[in-house]
Structure 1
Amino acid sequence: MSVFPISSCNNPLDPDVRDRTRKEWDVERRHHQEEVLKRIDIEHRWRVEDDERIHRREQWMRETEEHQRNVKEAIRHETQEKGARRAQWAIEVKEHERDMREAIRRENQEKEARRAQWAREVEQHNRDIEERQRREEEERQRLNMFWTDPESHTCTSYGTREYTARLLNVPANYNRRIEACMATPIQVHGVEYKPKRCEDHGPNNVIGHWEVNQNEPDCASYWSWYKDNGCVSPGSGQRRIEHYLENLPQGSDWREFCATTPANFRGMHFVGAQFCYQWNFSTYGHWVFDDESCK
């Protein structure tokens, strides 16, 4: 058995050691108390923060509930207003429909009344015209008006020639010479024609003008020399065709004949050229038409 000597600096019974130990304990106790106080302070702050969070949460919940109530109230109020506006609108629509039906009914009645009045006026007008024509015809027959000095003139358009004649047996005091002229027919090539227009130069000098478009072969021009000028331009979808105008009557209007001489080509029919021009005293017609091969 070994015995170790106890040093005076470590001897717990030594007053100095006990004082030092007590001081160390005091320091440790103060540190512990400080830690405890800090922990208590922290716990207090936590509780305060928790209380504040709980308070804010409760406040938020109250505000949320209040907001939801306000939203529900606003929706309810808006729904009521919409319902009221919809009901008012439905009433206005029905009133408008009634007004429109009534307006249409009145308008139709007025139209029918105007149509009936117009029909009566037309019928009366036609009766008046027929009666006047009957009286005038009777008067013309009684006066035995007839045409004299018929004369043919130049061709005016394709297959058409102008004729004139003078109306005889027109009394000097007869004041409807133009009407008599327009109503008195003349025979040309075995067919009766009434004048297209009349000129009143005084008694026994009333001139009638006719445009006869039958049995006038000298006025029948025709197209020859067909020429395909190709597409108007690449991708245009249109083609150009030219014709030369033959048998143009001497002294006639080449533009009129070019525009009225019919043409047939590529399965198409035209009453005349679309464009006309002259070159070297010759007349040419020009057509432009759609063509898929030019696209």
Structure 2
Amino acid sequence: LRRAWDKEIRGHEATRRAWASEVAAHEMIRVGWEEERLQLVRDREEWLREKHGEETRRKAEDERVRAGFGWESLRAEEHCLRHGARQYSARISNVPRVYDPVQACTETAVEIHGRKIASPSWCEDRGCNGVYGHWTVDYSEPTCVTHFDAFKDKGCISETGLRRIESRLENLQAGDNWRDMCSSTPANFRHLHFESPGMCEHWGKYGVWGIWEIEDREC
């Protein structure tokens, strides 16, 4: 019985040692995995630092290049576009070959009449002749500011309940499109505001006239 007991004890001891050895092996594997995980974390952090540094350098270089963009031959159109507005154009310059000139056009500011405009109204690629920016400037263009004066009451329009008002368009420059200028010119009369006439007519030597037909209880 004693020998059987000793044999069982030795068996348990062998099992314990085997279990301890297996636990130690698993611990080594776990430690190895943890070290690999930590290394992956360190590698990712290093990659993120390098990526951030690269992006910072690229952004700084991009800003340096864009700071060199400019406009040459800024030109105002001879005729007004509409009431109070004129178009301007210029060619984008100092754009490196590796940079898209159309993109450069859309990103480059210009100063017109002392006011900075962040980007063109649109950009036009003219091939070998370059890329041009176009702006619609609706301020500080006094020769484009047409107006109506001396509103004439032409009386009631028969059985319509409407009264006809006429006024000559003033400050219209030679060569400007009279329809565009007249139809975009606002007016104020009889305590009313109108963004434009109801109709525009060109009456030869008598000039361009705006016409309004307004509701009137007396008609």
CA distance in 1, matches of 2:152, 2:75: 40
Is the alpha carbon distance of 1:243 and 1:142 closer, same or farther for their aligned partners in structure 2, counting shifts above 3 Å? Answer: closer
TM-score by length of 2: 0.66
What amino acid sits opposite 2:146 in the alignment? Answer: S
Match of 1:198 in 2: 123
Match of 1:164 in 2: 89
Is contact 1:143–1:170 with CA below 8 Å preserved after alignment? no
Bigger helix share = 1
Q: Aligned Cα RMSD in Å?
A: 2.4
Displacement, 1:137? 9.7
Instruction: Provide the secondary structure at the position in 2 that maps to 1:151.
Output: strand
CA distance in 2, matches of 1:146, 1:184: 7
What amino acid sits opposite 1:276 in the alignment? Answer: C
User: What runs of 5+ residues in structure 2 fail to find an aligned partner?
Assistant: 1-54
Is the alpha carbon distance of 1:240 and 1:202 closer, same or farther for their aligned partners in structure 2, counting shifts above 3 Å? Answer: same
Instruction: Provide the secondary structure at the position in 2 that maps to 1:211.
Output: strand
Match of 1:82 in 2: none
Q: 2:187 aligns with which of 263, 275, 280?
A: 263
CA distance in 1, matches of 2:197, 2:127: 42
What amino acid sits opposite 2:195 in the alignment? Answer: V
Is contact 1:157–1:219 with CA below 8 Å preserved after alignment? yes
Count of aligned pairs:
160
Q: 1:152 aligns with which of 73, 76, 101?
A: 76
Is the alpha carbon distance of 1:137 and 1:265 closer, same or farther for their aligned partners in structure 2, counting shifts above 3 Å? Answer: farther
Is the alpha carbon distance of 1:152 and 1:173 closer, same or farther for their aligned partners in structure 2, counting shifts above 3 Å? Answer: same
Bigger strand share = 2
CA distance in 2, matches of 1:161, 1:238: 35
What amino acid sits opposite 1:249 in the alignment? Answer: Q
CA distance in 2, matches of 1:172, 1:158: 40
Is the alpha carbon distance of 1:191 and 1:227 closer, same or farther for their aligned partners in structure 2, counting shifts above 3 Å? Answer: same
Match of 2:111 in 1: 187
Displacement, 1:172? 3.2
Structure with more relative contact order (C-alpha pairs < 8 Å, separation 6 or more): 2
Instruction: Provide the secondary structure at the position in 2 that maps to 1:195.
Output: coil
1:201-216 equivalences in 2 (<5 Å): 201-202=126-127, 205-216=130-141
For each residue in 1:5-25, what CA deviation from the matched residue of structure 2 results, as whole angstroms up to 9, or x when unmatched? xxxxxxxxxxxxxxxxxxxxx
Instruction: Provide the secondary structure at the position in 2 that maps to 1:292.
Output: coil
User: What runs of 5+ residues in structure 1 fail to find an aligned partner?
Assistant: 1-130
Q: 1:248 aligns with which of 140, 154, 172?
A: 172
What amino acid sits opposite 2:188 in the alignment? Answer: N
1:21-60 equivalences in 2 (<5 Å): none
| 2:126 is the counterpart of 1:232 | no
CA distance in 2, matches of 1:184, 1:137: 16
Is the alpha carbon distance of 1:274 and 1:141 closer, same or farther for their aligned partners in structure 2, counting shifts above 3 Å? Answer: farther
Instruction: Provide the secondary structure at the position in 1 that maps to 2:168.
Output: strand
What amino acid sits opposite 1:283 in the alignment? Answer: V
Question: Rg bigger for which structure?
Answer: 1
Instruction: Provide the secondary structure at the position in 2 that maps to 1:286.
Output: strand
Match of 1:73 in 2: none
Displacement, 1:188? 0.6
- Percent same amino acid at aligned positions? 43
Instruction: Provide the secondary structure at the position in 2 that maps to 1:218.
Output: helix
Is contact 1:171–1:203 with CA below 8 Å preserved after alignment? no
For each residue in 1:109-147, what CA deviation from the matched residue of structure 2 results, as whole angstroms up to 9, or x when unmatched? xxxxxxxxxxxxxxxxxxxxxx9xx96993574561111
Is the alpha carbon distance of 1:202 and 1:223 closer, same or farther for their aligned partners in structure 2, counting shifts above 3 Å? Answer: same
CA distance in 1, matches of 2:69, 2:152: 54
Runs (4+) of structure 1 exceeding 6 A deviation are none
Is contact 2:66–2:104 with CA below 8 Å preserved after alignment? no
Is the alpha carbon distance of 1:202 and 1:292 closer, same or farther for their aligned partners in structure 2, counting shifts above 3 Å? Answer: same
Instruction: Provide the secondary structure at the position in 2 that maps to 1:170.
Output: coil
Instruction: Provide the secondary structure at the position in 2 that maps to 1:147.
Output: strand
